[in-house]
Amino acid sequence: MTKPYAKLLYLLWFIFMTCGFNTQAISSTADTTPDAFSFIDQTDVPLRSVITSNTITISGINAATPISVTGGYYSINGAAYKTTAGTINNGDTVTLRVISLSTYLTPVNALLTIGGVSDTFTATTIWSGFYLPAASTGNPLFQSEHFRGSEVCAACHNGIYDNKGIDVSIATDWSSTMMANSARDPLWKAKSA
């Protein structure tokens, strides 16, 4: 019974000795492409202020990898913020920093690139409180039990001219007033809901 095992052991020894057996660790190639990362954009940030992103942790690389930023500053592992290109290692943490602009509702971007993978951190300034964005969600055609939108009234109060041909429509003059735009006001929407 022991002879078949002895033959098997001899055969394995012969294969390893004649074909060669490398006991050295198999070398791997450098991987400098990190896993995808993402910064959380910020809105309603103060004017002319330093804005810092969330912290990301770099993974998926096994060698020092190039890092660069456009439009902002980056910090690795809490070190000083800088704009010059450098290198980063697996497990390092990164934050971005931008300076918000001095105009309302204006974004500023910082693009971070690590080993060919990029993400943009965006910080958008507050709105002044009196500025209504062009894409406001107000519906001037709405109707409820107690209220109607400005376009409902404009059907009757528009296209009125005096004897000299001058437009004296109430809807035309009224369209720029606070009352006409109240349906777009979030406070008014909350109180009348």
Provide DSSP, 113-170: EETTEEEEEEEEEPP-SS---TT----TT-B-SS-B-HHHHHTTSSS-B-TTS-B--H
Share of the chain above pLDDT 90, in %: 42
Q: Which two tokens stand for residue 174?
A: 């009224």
Q: What is the pLDDT of residues 111-166, one digit of tens each?
A: 999 999 999 999 998 876 544 444 455 566 667 777 666 666 666 777 777 787 77
Note the pLDDT of residue 48: 85
User: What is the span of the domain harbouring residue 170?
Assistant: 132-187
142 and 105 in a single domain? The answer is no
- Residues 117 and 166 grouped into a single domain: no
Q: How many beta carbons lie within 10 A of that of residue 15, not counting itself?
A: 11
Give the pLDDT confidence score for residue 138 in this predicted structure: 58
Name which residue leads in pLDDT, 188 or 124: 124
pLDDT for 102 equals 82
193 assigned to some structural domain: no
- Pick from 97, 149, 160, 91: nearest CA to 123: 97
* 76 and 149, same domain (yes or no): no
Check whether residue 62 and residue 108 sit in a common domain: yes
Domain shared by 116 and 136, yes or no: no
90 and 153 assigned to the same domain: no
7 dihedral zone (left: phi>0; alpha: psi -120 to 50; beta): alpha
The reply to whether 157 and 102 lie within a common domain is: no
pLDDT-above-70 percentage for the chain? 66
Instruction: Summarize pLDDT for 14-48 with one digit per residue, the tens.
Output: 666 666 555 444 456 899 999 999 999 999 898 88
Three-point CA angle 129, 135, 137, nearest 5°: 80
CATH number assigned to the domain comprising residue 96 = 2.60.40
Q: Are 115 and 167 within one domain?
A: no
Instruction: Report the pLDDT value the prediction gives residue 7, as an integer from 0 to 100.
Output: 74
- Tokens 């055609």 belong to residue: 141
Residues 50 and 119 in one domain: yes
Tell me which of 109, 125, 141 is where a domain ends. Answer: 125
Q: 21 vs 79, which has greater pLDDT?
A: 79
Co-location of 116 and 61 in the same domain: yes
35 in a domain, yes or no?
A: no
Residue 13 lies in a domain: no
Tokens of 95: 């934050």
More confident site: 18 or 64: 64
Q: Are residues 121 and 46 in the same domain?
A: yes
Is position 92 within any domain?
yes
Q: What is the pLDDT of residue 86?
A: 96
**pTM score:** 0.55
Question: What one-character-per-residue DSSP string does 48-117 give?
Answer: T-EEE---EE--S-SS-EEEEEESSEEEETT---B-S-EEE-TT-EEEEEEE--SSTT-EEEEEEEETTE
Q: Which of 71, 99, 125 is where one domain is finished?
A: 125
Distance (Å, rounded) from C-alpha 134 to C-alpha 155?
A: 23
pLDDT beyond 60 at 64: yes
Total domain count, the chain: 2
- Of 100, 125, 150, the residue at which a domain comes to its end is 125
